[in-house]
Amino acid sequence: MRDTAVLLVAQQLATTRSGVGLYVRVLLTELARRGCTPAFATWTEEIDRGAFPDVEFVDLGARPAWDPTPGGFVALGRRLADCLGDADPRRYALLHFADAREAYGYVQKTRVGARIPFVGTVHDDYAAVAPASPLGLVGRAADPIVRWAYYRWLAGIEARTYRAAARLMANSDATGRVVARRYGLDAGDLRTVHLCVAPAAPLATDGASAIPMAGNPKLLFAGGNFYRKGLDTVVRALPAVRDTASDVRLFVAGHDRAERRIRRLAARLGVSDRLTFLGRVDRGAMAAAFAAADVFVMPSRTEALGLVYLEAMRAGVPVVSGNVGGVIEIVRDGESGLTVPPEDADALAAAILRAHGDPDLRRRLADGGRAVLAERTPERLADETLAVYADALSG
């Protein structure tokens, strides 16, 4: 691949604030193992020479404070266009935006004839499935009007950017179908790549990564955007769980502006003492939290895939999820987890109690989770990605 000179572009590497960060680390590690390492363009603070000493990094400078988009993705693409404009145009034959929408600034700033072909990975469809009116987000977002306006803006960006790509990779079959239909894309230009998580690293034994977790059962929720991922539904399920499992505790890893509203909801339901917010949690502490949890629960209203479910399976933790989107491609009801209709607190409470109270079911779900992980390996991810590179270059 050095002859074709692929440049991988992402706004996360040293940090893993979302599934995109996990994805690029797994992909880059596997490609490096094969000796076909692409160059990597990212913000100065995301360069990780210690973990990837053989990677040629393209330093895009400090992330600008003026860009409020996640990871500064608009500025990222624009900064890349500036950097490539100063370089030998033949140096890179293909760009790979690890999050496809991050190509927006590059598309916006680069003339079509001067544009290096690019591929991108689509990790979510929440802008594509957003309701036509902000009323559809009332009770489903902390700031429905702002959230709706952002989704409408983002959908316009995605439509323009995705149509300019040579090829797109979707993280699930469901995501590919939704995105192709929403933006009028040729379904043949969207390939599913089976995202995965890295093998589990040994847990630290010095206690530095430990998170104090007590309760029976100990429920774990992880992610930002609390309403989209269904944290309010989990809180509404807590009273029914408590009626059977009196010592239940819920631990929330992640940060969102909706935390205050979730706390008020817990207070109204009388379960504030069962709820602990952990805030943003680093990789070591997150692994420790998975190891300590009894059930991982995240009944998302929309979910394109969710690498966090795979992380729970890697830890052998029973998973309870929503039954929508690409998540059901990995959380198979009764096999590798339990699924419930989003927003159905009663069904969620029943599933939590099933997963906690039936040891035989827990073993079956753990075995099913391991089977899912066996299907999704770094080797397969790299094979599928390299096939898309080859297809885009030949096309």
| Matching CATH number, 218-375, of 3.40.50.2000, 1.10.340.30, 3.30.300.30, 3.40.470.10 | 3.40.50.2000
pLDDT at position 205: 47
Lowest mean pLDDT: which of 26-30, 126-130, 210-214? 210-214
pLDDT band at 285 (very low <50, low <70, confident <90, very high): confident
7 and 94 Cβ atoms separated by less than 8 Å: yes
In CATH terms, the fold of domain 6-196+377-394 is Rossmann fold (3.40.50)
pLDDT band at 189 (very low <50, low <70, confident <90, very high): confident
- Which one-letter amino acid corresponds to residue 284? G
pLDDT at position 203: 57
Query: What DSSP line would sit under 303-325, residue for residue?
Result: -S--HHHHHHHHTT--EEEES-G
169 and 192 Cβ atoms separated by less than 8 Å: yes
pLDDT at position 4: 58
pLDDT at position 211: 77
Report, in angstroms and rounded to the nearest whole number, the Rg of the chain calculated over CA atoms: 21
pLDDT band at 208 (very low <50, low <70, confident <90, very high): very low
How big is the chain, counted in residues?
Answer: 395
- Give mean pLDDT, residues 58-68: 94
pLDDT at position 88: 61
Q: What are 226-262's pLDDT values in tens digits? A: 999 999 999 999 999 999 999 999 999 999 999 999 9
pTM of the model: 0.93
DSSP-derived pairing of the beta strands 39-42 and 218-222: unpaired
201 pLDDT above the threshold of 90: no
Choice between 4 and 215, residue whose per-residue pLDDT is larger: 215
pLDDT at position 258: 94
pLDDT at position 195: 96
Q: What are 10-44's pLDDT values in tens digits? A: 999 998 888 899 999 999 999 999 988 889 999 99
pLDDT at position 283: 83
- At residue 344, the 3 state secondary structure works out as coil
Sign of CA dihedral 302, 307, 313, 317: negative
Domains 6-196+377-394 and 218-375 share a fold: yes
193 pLDDT above the threshold of 90: yes
79 and 67 Cβ atoms separated by less than 8 Å: no
Phi-psi region at 185: left, alpha or beta (left = phi > 0; alpha = psi -120 to 50): beta
Give the per-residue SS3 of 203-251.
CCCCCCCCCCCCCECEEEEECCCCCCCCHHHHHHHHHHHHHHCCECEEE
Q: What is the mean pLDDT of the chain?
A: 93
pLDDT band at 202 (very low <50, low <70, confident <90, very high): low
pLDDT at position 212: 83
Sign of CA dihedral 297, 169, 132, 73: positive
- Give mean pLDDT, residues 76-81: 95
Q: What are 330-370's pLDDT values in tens digits? A: 999 999 999 999 999 999 999 999 999 999 999 999 999 99
* In the chain, where the domains are located: 6-196+377-394, 218-375
Q: What are 274-284's pLDDT values in tens digits? A: 999 999 888 88
CB neighbour burial string for 55-86, b if at least 16 within 10 angstroms, e if fewer: bebbebeebeeebebbbbbbbbbbbbbeebee
User: What is the four-CA torsion angle of 48, 50, 53, 58, rounded to 10 degrees?
Assistant: 20
89 pLDDT above the threshold of 70: no
* pLDDT cut 90: percent of the chain above it: 83
1 pLDDT above the threshold of 60: no
pLDDT at position 86: 64
- Among 384, 16, 325, residue whose Cα is nearest residue 169: 384
- Give mean pLDDT, residues 69-85: 93
pLDDT band at 9 (very low <50, low <70, confident <90, very high): very high
136 pLDDT above the threshold of 90: yes
90 pLDDT above the threshold of 80: no
